[in-house]
Structure 1
Amino acid sequence: MLEIYKTINGKLKRVSEATNGTWINIAEPNNADLKRLRALTKGADEIIEYMHDADEVPKIERLDRELFILIRTPQKRMAEPEYFTIPLGIILSKRHLITFCTIKNDVIEELKKGEINTGKKIQTVLKLLLVSSRLYLNYLKSINKLSHIIQQDLEKSMKNEELVKLLNLEKSLVYFTTSLRSNLLIISKLTRDKVFTKYEEDRELLEDVRYEYEQAMQMADIYSNILSGMMDAFASIISNNLNRVMKLLTSVTIILMIPTLIASIYGMNIALPFQHSEHAFLITMLISALLSAMGIIIFWRKELF
């Protein structure tokens, strides 16, 4: 899908033609969209190759007088892991700003809701980076909330389901940490680029972007360390909970063995005490109950129940 936007009277509007100062967004492209991208930029084939690699690392390249920036942006989905990152391509040409992603991008959707001026391409790119950093922060907070919810369930659990959920959250944090670190290198390069630091407004915006990314990086590191320690701790808790259940079942089994043992003895075809008494059955039951009660008291005092 290829969309063309332009700021008209201070509002972002979708237009049909790619004129000067327009923003062209390509997501989930078909063959017609790729053909049009090739017509818009000469380095399209190389860019398409980059974007179809889900593990492509962030980079900055100049392709035939055009600046190509690739960053990794946060993404949310229904499958596990719920949070991950995807590559987003940004192409700066003299006439247009082009963004390219193989799927519908959360950052682009958030950018559309904000106030941007497509005529100021550098400023729009910086705002895109700012939206990306803030979305990282929002998703990191969501991951932290999920980990607390799972923690409450895990305290009473003896299953691996909650641990698997924590593992998926840890994978998401690994994706975020790696992507944020790579994106920070790109931000660092932009701070040394005269194109992005020519105007005071752009320099201030770039500084905000750098600060937000550093904050997101610190949060990702903290949450990752906490989650890693939490997984180790709760693996021990699950093992301890299982041991407590096994201890209880073992204690119950031993108590039940007492009357079973007495009944087995009195089932032997040999001379036994009280065998001629009319109260033999009652006496046997009383002895079994008494010994079982003594066993329960002993186990209770030793906290085996």
Structure 2
Amino acid sequence: MITIFKTFGGCTEIKSVQPGCWIHVVEPTQNEIECLTEQFQLPNDTISDILDADERPRVEYDDDWSLVIMRIPIRTTNNGVPYQTVPLGIYLTNNFTLSLCMCDNQVLPVDQACVYKDPMHSVNDATNFILQLFLRSGNLYMKYLKHINQMTNLIEQDLEKSIKNRELNQLLKLEKCMVFFITSIKANEIVLAKIRNSKRINNEINEDLLEDAIIENKQALEMGKIYSDIQSGMMDAFASVISNNLNLVMKQLTLISIILMIPTLIASIFGMNVPNSFENSSMAMPLIIIVSLILSIFGVLLFRKRQWF
């Protein structure tokens, strides 16, 4: 989907390219990719790089254009992993600025691409537009990290009484999200440093906005590291808890088998086809049952005294 806006605010949509406009591209089809190369003169390798899910963040310069690639978080259901990161490319030229992403996202959503809350706010500086995207990306990272932490707390409650690996598998997928996030945030931090030190795209840069973006990115990185360390320790601890819970179940089943073995043993002895003193007694059956119950209860009390039950 290709949408053209008059300014970077994403409030006024236009139908054709004009100087200073912003072209917003999300989930491009093959025909739209051909349009980007033919009409907007984007290099094929640049489009391929941005649409590559494993592309690393970077800043690239040419005589007529500049390219900034960052990684942003998205929701996903791929293999049960709730979140992952994808590249978002911003292509800068003298006539227009183009943002390109392989899928819909919350940094620049398809249905509401407006970057600023004030719809009347007009922004004409491409560099500050990029910083605004970094700031929104950092906020989104922290939002998703908090949600991952909430999911971890819910799984933790189930892990305390679990004897299966389902909860550990869920934690493993959340840990995978943490690795995606931390790696991407670190790479974004390097890109922000390059933008700060660049002499080509830092003209009239908003220092306050740059500082906010850097602080937000660092805060998201620190939060990701803390949550990742907590999850790593939790997985090690609860792996032992699951093993211990399984041992307790096996011990209880063994004790139950021992208790059930007592009446079985007595019934087997008196059920043998050999003479005994009770074969002609009318009280033999009730007496055997009573003795079996007494010995079974005695075994239960003995185990409880030793705190095996």
Query: TM class, shorter-chain normalised?
Result: over 0.9
Give the residue type in structure 1 aligned to 2:218: E
- The answer to whether the 8 Å contact 1:72/1:85 transfers is yes
Residue of structure 2 equivalent to 1:105: 105
The correspondence for 2:141, drawn from 136, 161, 178, is: 136
Q: What is the alpha-carbon distance in structure 1 between the residues aligned to residue 198 and residue 32 of structure 2?
A: 31
Cα distance change of structure 1 residues 112 and 129 upon mapping to structure 2, 3 Å threshold: same
Residues 58 and 69 in structure 2, CA contact (< 8 A), matched pair in contact too: yes
Amino acid at match of 1:176: F
Matches of 2:134 and 2:90, distance apart in 1: 10
Q: How many residues align?
A: 303
Question: Could you say what secondary structure the match of 2:11 adopts?
Answer: strand
SS at match of 1:56: coil
Which moves more between the two structures, 93-102 or 188-197?
Answer: 188-197
Moved more, 293-302 or 266-275: 266-275
Offset, 1:190: 0.9
Q: Does 1:292 align with 2:291?
A: no
User: Is contact 1:43-1:64 (8 Å) kept?
Assistant: no
For 1:247, the equivalent position in structure 2 comes to: 251
Q: CA deviation at 1:156?
A: 2.3
User: Which residue of structure 1 aligns with residue 45 of structure 2?
Assistant: 46
Equivalent residue number for residue 126 of structure 1: 131
**How much has 1:195 moved relative to structure 2?**
4.2
1:13-92 to structure 2, matched below 5 A, reads: 13-39=12-38, 41-79=40-78, 80-92=80-92
- The answer to whether 1:180 aligns with 2:179 is no
Q: Which of the residues 248, 264, 274 maps onto 2:278?
A: 274
Deviation at 1:193, TM superposition (A): 1.1
In the alignment, the residues of structure 1 paired with residue 221 and residue 197 of structure 2 have an alpha-carbon distance, to the nearest angstrom, of 21
Aligned equivalents of 2:162, 2:143: Cα separation in 1 = 29
* Structure 2 residues not aligned, in runs of 5+: none
C-alpha change, 1:113 and 1:198, in structure 2 (3 Å) is: closer
Stretch of structure 1 that moved more, 244-253 or 187-196 = 187-196
Q: Tell whether 2:157 aligns with 1:157.
A: no
Q: Does the Cα contact within 8 Å between 1:76 and 1:83 map onto a contact in 2?
A: yes
- Is residue 111–residue 128 contact of structure 1 (8 Å, CA) maintained in 2? no
Alpha-carbon deviation of 1:274?
A: 3.2
Tell me the distance in 2 between the aligned counterparts of 1:210 and 1:142.
22
Q: Is the 8 A contact 2:115 2:132 kept in 1?
A: no
User: Which 10-residue stretch deviates more, 31-40 or 13-22?
Assistant: 31-40
| Cα distance change of structure 1 residues 96 and 118 upon mapping to structure 2, 3 Å threshold | farther
Pick which of 128-137 and 102-111 moved more.
102-111
Conserved 8 A contact 1:4-1:15 = yes
Deviation readout 1:213-253 (Å, 9 max, x if unpaired): 11111111110010111111112222222222211111111
The two structures have a TM-score, normalised by structure 1, of 0.93
Aligned partner of 2:230 in structure 1 is: 226
Give the letter for the 1:250 counterpart: T
- Structure 1 unaligned spans of 5+: none
* Separation in 2, partners of 1:113, 1:266: 87
Deviations 1:40-77 (A, max 9, x none): 55442111120232111111111342110111111112
> Structure 1 residues 238-247 or 208-217, which shifts more?
238-247
| 1:23–1:118 CA contact under 8 A, matched in 2 | no
Residue 113 of structure 2 corresponds to residue 114 of structure 1: no
Shift of 1:196: 4.6
Over 3 Å counting, the alpha-carbon distance change for 1:65 and 1:18 in structure 2 is same
Identity of aligned residues (%): 40
Q: Report the CA distance shift for 1:189/1:178 in structure 2 as closer, same or farther (over 3 A).
A: same
Instruction: Pick from 259, 265, 269 the counterpart of residue 261 of structure 1.
Output: 265
Distance 1:218 1:102, change over 3 A: same
Q: 187-196 or 113-122: which moved more? A: 113-122
**What TM-score results when the alignment is normalised by the length of structure 2?**
0.92
Farther-moved stretch of structure 1 (265-274 vs 241-250): 265-274
